[in-house]
Amino acid sequence: MTAKYVDTEGLEISDDVVKVGNIGEAYTTEQKDIPGYTFKEVQGNASGKFTAQAQTVTYVYTKNELPHVSGTVLVKYIDTNGHSLSEDIVKSGAIGEGYSTEKKDIKGYAFKEVRGNVAGRYTNQVQTVTYVYTKNKSISQVTATPQGEEKDPSASAKQKFLPKAGENEGMTLLSFILGLTFLALALFGLTLRIKKIKK
């Protein structure tokens, strides 16, 4: 008779044990302790008598589940001063499996560099990937003044009432001519009055 040791899929997990005896003699078989497996059931007679026919006893085992061992990757998003800009991301997976991390678009900041492996495999050690950002410089709104334009509105107002250099000379000449004209008219009028008086 033959004792077999298999898993639930029917695959052999230990060597068969073959026992030989005279017909009518008693036989016994043994359940084995097999590392990584737990006994489930026996199919056939674990003990009995030898017969003229070949007999088989099958011991069935279930495979023990391995403890789930996982690795961890911590993803950080910080500025150049080490201040956190976004919530950390924690990724986990079975040791040996691949992982990947992503760069974020953070308002008001520009990506500078990454520290650590952006992609890789989980290990039994905690791995950290750090994305570093720089703060965008604020653009100050400066109003440009075109060349030749007065910045001070009061100065511009004064400019309207003050004659320019060329205009000043023209105004003086005009005033002089008008003055002479009025003087000539006054003298002419005075002369006419004197003539009337003499008559």
DSSP 61-128: EEEPPPP--EEEEEEEEEETTS-EEEEEEEEEEETT-EEE------TTEEEEEEES-SEEE--SS-EE
Looking at residue 141, what is its pLDDT? Answer: 43
Per-residue tens of pLDDT for the chain, all 199 residues: 999 999 999 999 999 999 999 999 999 999 999 999 999 999 999 999 999 999 999 999 999 987 667 899 999 999 999 999 999 999 999 888 999 999 999 999 999 999 999 999 999 999 999 999 999 987 654 445 555 555 555 555 555 555 555 555 566 777 788 888 888 888 777 777 776 676 5
Looking at residue 99, what is its pLDDT? Answer: 96
- The span from the CA of 3 to the CA of 34, in Å, is 14
Domain ranges of the chain: 2-63, 70-135, 153-198
Looking at residue 176, what is its pLDDT? Answer: 80
Looking at residue 181, what is its pLDDT? Answer: 83
Looking at residue 3, what is its pLDDT? Answer: 97
Number of H helices, E strands in the chain: 2, 12
Looking at residue 140, what is its pLDDT? Answer: 57
CATH superfamily of the domain spanning 70-135 = Putative peptidoglycan bound protein (lpxtg motif) (3.10.20.320)
Fold match, 2-63 / 70-135 = yes
Report yes or no on whether pTM surpasses 0.85: no
- The span from the CA of 47 to the CA of 41, in Å, is 14
Looking at residue 128, what is its pLDDT? Answer: 97
Looking at residue 170, what is its pLDDT? Answer: 62
Looking at residue 142, what is its pLDDT? Answer: 44
State the DSSP code for 170.
Answer: H
Looking at residue 175, what is its pLDDT? Answer: 78
Nearest-Å Rg of the Cα atoms of the chain is 55
Provide the CATH number for the domain formed by 2-63 in this structure. 3.10.20.320
Can you say whether residue 148 is alpha, beta or left, with left for phi > 0 and alpha for psi between -120 and 50 degrees? left
